[in-house]
Structure 1
Amino acid sequence: METRIAELRYKEVISVEDGSRFGYVGDMEVDMDTGQVRALVVPGRRRFFGLLGREEDKYIPWSAVRRFGEDIILVEDHGSRRTPRRG
């Protein structure tokens, strides 16, 4: 199965442990020296319709990705981290 990076933005990230939904892939963290993907980045949810900003972005290590489906990406949540939004 061939997948383009742009197609990942249309896939929802879901935990295999409890079925919780993290949102849709917004970006990827890539090691520029090796070209390998380090993590998927899911933008934080908007607070009060976006008027109060967003929650922190969620970084899901590539090693936590378990399966790719047509519409979803299944991940193990215990390896994820949150990082404050920049700018």
Structure 2
Amino acid sequence: MECRGWELREKEVIDLSDGSRIGYVGDLMVDLEAGRVTALVVPGRLRLFGLLGREPDRVFPWQAVRRVGADAVLVEGDGLPRLWE
């Protein structure tokens, strides 16, 4: 199966450990020298409809990705909070 980077943005991220819906892929981190994806970034959820900002983004290293399907990306692990803006 082939998938382009922009097509990943349409896919929902699901945690394999408990089946919870984490969100949608918002960004990719790419190692330009090696030419490969290193992580998926899922934007944090809005707090009180966005009035209180949003939770930190979650970063899933590519090693945590178990499957990329037609509609979803299955990941294992909690995802690291994104510590930069």
Query: TM-score, normalized by length of structure 2?
Result: 0.93
Report if the CA contact (8 A) 1:57-1:85 is conserved: no
Equivalent in the alignment of 1:54: 54
Three-state SS of the structure 1 residue aligned to 2:41 is strand
Report if the CA contact (8 A) 1:14-1:22 is conserved: yes
Q: Aligned equivalents of 1:85 and 1:48: distance in 2? A: 22
Equivalent in the alignment of 1:15: 15
Structure 1: segments with no counterpart, 5+ residues: none
Matched residues, number: 85
Equivalent in the alignment of 1:6: 6
Q: CA deviation at 1:33?
A: 1.3
Q: CA deviation at 1:85?
A: 5.5
Equivalent in the alignment of 2:64: 64
Q: Aligned equivalents of 2:58 and 2:8: distance in 1? A: 15
Equivalent in the alignment of 1:36: 36
Q: Aligned equivalents of 1:50 and 1:37: distance in 2? A: 30
Report if the CA contact (8 A) 1:44-1:54 is conserved: yes
Runs of 4+ deviating beyond 2 Å: none
| Aligned amino acid, residue 36 of structure 1 | R
Query: TM-score, normalized by length of structure 1?
Result: 0.91
Q: Deviations over 1:30-83 (max 9, x none)?
A: 1121111110000000111111111000000000100111111001015x2011
Three-state SS of the structure 2 residue aligned to 1:7 is helix
Q: Aligned equivalents of 1:74 and 1:21: distance in 2? A: 10
Q: Percent identity?
A: 59
